[in-house]
Structure 1
Amino acid sequence: MTAVPATQPRVAFTDEMKAEFKALLGDRFTTAAAVREHHGKDESYHPNFPPDGVAFATSTEEVSAIVTLCAKHKLPIIPFGTGTSLEGGVAALAGGVCIDVSNMKEVLRVSPEDLDVTVQAGVTRKQLNEHLRDTGLFFPIDPGADASLGGMASTRASGTNAVRYGTMRENVLGLTVVLADGRIIKTGGRARKSAAGYDLTRLFVGAEGTLGIITEVTLRLYGIPEAISSAVCPFNDIRGAVDTVIQTIQSGIPVARIELLDEVQMDAVNKYSKLDYKVAPTLFFEFHGTAAGVKEQAEMVAAIAAEFGGSEFTWATRPEDRSKLWQARHDGYYAALALRPGSKGWPTDVCVPISRLADCILETKKDIAESSMLAPLVGHVGDGNFHLVYVIDPDKPEELAEAKRLNDRMVDRALAMGGTCTGEHGIGYGKMEFLEKEAGDAFAVMGELKRAFDPENRMNPGKVVRI
């Protein structure tokens, strides 16, 4: 089990404080145990740390008022979107008030001519794309969960489309942020480039609510491709699949998605989503472009796959077939857990330079094979990122210890290969020790930034950096 970082002494939450929050928000502030429990845990194996109260905000100004009241009483503040994070990022380690932005669901502005949109932080990626459906535009960043866009910005999320469209880092143009003292600032803007001052937008993207609370996000949009086609290709072995990915990327073929599922994950996906694909290391592809461009891309990738032991592509061209395929991929986490009913998942990820991907995956698979762990592997391998889910019984300390040992080895391996301890899950408190190892002296600089923005350490304390 990951050690819980020390935070400042817990401030007692009094009836007088509760009355002040009730006066501000009415029934949208609650101390009900069930609501607090729901807001004290994400989808990971990390234990539940409920806040003292939960405030449901509806606007930036209301978030500012809540933060100002928390500052008055020196209460910690934990932002909450949909609760789908994976490294304990929403745990109220020192108590305090959770600010839930899920009611902030307004699409504030769409500019089709400029290919951008501004939304409140509680809008989810699926809600945004539903809103955009008649404009011919879409937002491509798609973590497996239907996460809030504020949360996606806070964790620097990515997903299956990142190999072509990038991550939240590349697709956030500007933010509205509430700082620890209640001030409201705007960063960035709608211009596609700027040389004006510090890039505060990139500072808040990925800060996981430790520097401020994101309340509005301005995002890049993209035209829906003329043609979209998906394909599934099994391989004789995992090296052949990974070498296909490397050759595809190095050849400059603009694939939209390349996802790797090992044989364990394919078995899980078949059973959970009622599919009948071959149980073998498998690549899921998607191609975007003109009809001619998609055909050319597919032919080039099929030829590369054949060189490395790939079988003939199984195509999914109808929208309903593509949706079924990619929903199965996004449900991979739940499929893994279904292999062992009653289990919990310890999800983790690393990212390495594409040239080291095969070595990193094969050495990781060797470790798993030599252990007693069930750990399906899946990856956004087009950008060198892959994931494991250690399927564990959390009541068995020996399984937690073995999962930690394997995870430590995998992260150390990725760092030694010039990679990172997390490609998209973030740090929370689950990977703080790895961030310190990865960042070196820069870890102390991160702490200095944290103190500058949040001198009392009240913004999501105990996450990302140690104070």
Structure 2
Amino acid sequence: MPDLAAQTEAKRNTGESGNLSELVARLSERFGERCSTSQALREQHGHTTTWLENQPPDVVVFAETSEEVADVVRMCADRKVPVIPFGTGSSLEGHVNAPHGGVSIDLSRMNRILEVNSEDLDCRVEAGVTRKQLNSFLRDTGLFFPIDPGADASIGGMVATRASGTNAVRYGTMKDAVLGLTVVTADGRIVTTGGRARKSSAGYDLTRLFVGSEGTLGVITEITLRLHGQPEAISGGVCPFPDVHSACNAVISTIQMGIPVARIELLDSLQVKACNTYSKLQLAETPTLFLEFHGSDAGVREQSEMFSAIADEFGGGPFEWATIAEERTKLWTARHDAYWAGKTLKPEADIMVTDVCVPISRLAECVSETEQDIRSNGLLAPIVGHVGDGNFHVQILVDLDDPEEKQKTEAFVERLAIRAIELGGTCTGEHGVGQGKQKYLRREHGEGLDLMQSIKTALDPDNVMNPGKILPQS
């Protein structure tokens, strides 16, 4: 395979990519104050929420339409200068870093909700719309958008990283939510994929090709999304367990019994301790499941009772219901603040966050082995996860200036990724590959990785679209 990273750098160094200052001048003329080379702004558009090195772009452009995105991409393509799409910067694996420099296209001003089709349960939005913004807009329609990764991420970024979150066990992930896309390709074309029909047999599924492509194949500018009706009733609560193995086995039985749980989240004892401190909860500091059920009044009551019986079988309980909306909100806010809560355990530490996903039947095995790995290596690392679909996260608190501690942490992350793959899972369930997980893709996909490289080369022969992400040699 060609070393695309070396080719890209060589083109920039030999001048084949054109004069960067001339490109910046053209962009400044075209976009005025919406084009910036400010050092602080460029660094903000680098690594953001990740432990990886900050690699800022050369210039940031704030686009407001698909046509403007296409203009920027064409200017960059003509000069073979990299293009890095930017949503809100909440990704965790260095997706928005610019290892070869280039232009960061900030899509946050493309935040219009273009249409809502209540009768068909779908909508069309620009890429910069955030999930909270969309649900606020939908509040009076009786509909909602269920994909909830925790952070108030942009819809475009969620598509690009194939995000999921707490509701995925019932409502699926972004691959299930996206009906169609508008994408600016590497040569500056504006292409529409998919549509509003719920199924089609017409041609290749280009929509799914771009979902999860992390900006390496094009810039997503508009998205048509599947929506859901707001449930008649919601109930939920917390259920403690004596250990993570018992909690995971309760999750496995719940899923295998077909109980349509909407959310089922695991917090280990260390994460519960952190949440008690940060979010002012008073939970027993033992492995705990947070749950939520959606449906009719009778349905959620039945589901809750069935889960209570399962929990009791595995030594869990009592299951404490939270039927008042304010109580549920407090619990789920605490769950979403788990990242910041974890930092209270060692405020001076850096945070390295990683995730894996395994078949639900292997969940207890994987989480238990991971917990033992953490203890054996003296790491401070709470575990939290969307365990209803076999996905969990580990947040390692580490001093990245200490070479030995950093090496020990990186070795743990590698063992975790390999453990998940060997159990039939994946090195990342929802964070994406970015820069941080590239080295595990060959082990996970084998020759399929070569096919991915062929697709990348066909659609982006000059490697201008977010180079250095997903594919190890890009």
What do residues 402-459 of structure 1 show as CA deviations (whole Å, max 9, x unaligned)? 1111111111111111111110000001100111210100001100000011000010
Structure 1 residue 166 corresponds to structure 2 residue 172: yes
Provide Cα deviations, 1:258-297, integer angstroms capped at 9, x if missing partner. Answer: 0000001110111111111000000000000000000000
Quick one: distance in 2 between partners of 1:440 and 1:135?
A: 46
Q: How far, CA to CA, are the matches of 1:300 and 1:439 in structure 2?
A: 38
Alignment pair present for 1:265 and 2:271: yes
Q: CA RMSD in A?
A: 1.0
- 1 CA distance for matches of 2:39 and 2:348? 24
Q: Aligned residue for 1:440?
A: 446
Which secondary structure does the structure 2 equivalent of 1:346 belong to? strand
Q: 1:24 aligns with which of 24, 30, 45?
A: 30
1:365 aligns to what?
Answer: 371
- For 2:137, the equivalent position in structure 1 comes to 131
Which of 77, 102, 105 in structure 2 is aligned with 1:96? 102
How many pairs are equivalent? Answer: 463
1:58 equivalenced with 2:74 (yes/no): no
* Match runs of 1:66-215 below 5 Å: 66-215=72-221
Q: Quick check: 1:7–1:461 contact (8 Å CA) kept in 2?
A: no
> TM-score, normalized by length of structure 1?
0.98
Alignment counterpart, residue 43 of structure 1, candidates 46, 49, 61: 49
Match for 1:357: what amino acid? Answer: L
Aligned to 1:232: 238
Report the equivalent of 1:290: 296
In 2, the alpha carbon distance for the partners of 1:6 and 1:257 equals 45
Q: Does 1:327 align with 2:333?
A: yes
Amino acid corresponding to residue 454 of structure 2 in structure 1: E
What amino acid sits opposite 2:8 in the alignment? Q
1:302–1:359 CA distance, 2 compared to 1 (3 A): same
Q: 2:355 maps to what in 1?
A: 349
Q: Give the whole-Å Cα distance in 2 for the aligned partners of 1:71 and 1:349.
A: 34
Instruction: Give the superposition deviation at 1:23.
Output: 1.2
Q: Which runs of 5+ in 2 are unaligned?
A: 14-18
- Partner of residue 9, structure 1: 9
What does 1:293-442 correspond to in 2, within 5 Å?
293-442=299-448
Q: Which amino acid aligns with 1:161?
A: N
Sort the Cα spacing of 1:293 and 1:96 in 2 relative to 1 into closer, same or farther, 3 A. Answer: same
Q: Secondary structure at the match of 2:247?
A: helix
State the partner residue of 1:252.
258
Equivalent in the alignment of 2:16: none
Q: Distance in 2 between matches of 1:37 and 1:338?
A: 26
Q: Could you report, residue by residue, the CA deviation over 1:81-133 in whole angstroms, capped at 9, with x for unpaired residues? A: 00000111000010000000000000000000000000000000000000001
Kept after mapping to 2: 8 A contact 1:42/1:89: no
Separation in structure 2 between the aligned mates of residue 323 and residue 55 of structure 1, nearest angstrom: 37
The Cα shift of 1:397 comes to: 1.1
SS of structure 2 residue aligned to 1:99: strand
What SS class does the counterpart of residue 8 from structure 1 fall into?
A: helix
Q: Shift of residue 158 of structure 1?
A: 0.1
**Counterpart for residue 458 of structure 2:** 452
Once the two structures are TM-superposed, the CA of residue 342 in structure 1 deviates from its matched residue by 2.2
User: Match of 2:261, SS?
Assistant: coil
Once residues 136 and 6 of structure 1 are traced to their aligned partners in structure 2, the CA distance between those partners, rounded to angstroms, is: 52
Alignment check: 8 A CA contact 2:50 2:352 kept: yes
Letter in 1 for 2:249: D
Structure 1: gaps of 5 or more residues: none
* Deviation for aligned residue 1:300: 0.2
Identity of aligned residues (%): 59
SS in 1 for 2:8: coil
- The Cα of 1:7 is off from its aligned counterpart by 6.7
- Partner of 2:30, secondary structure, is helix
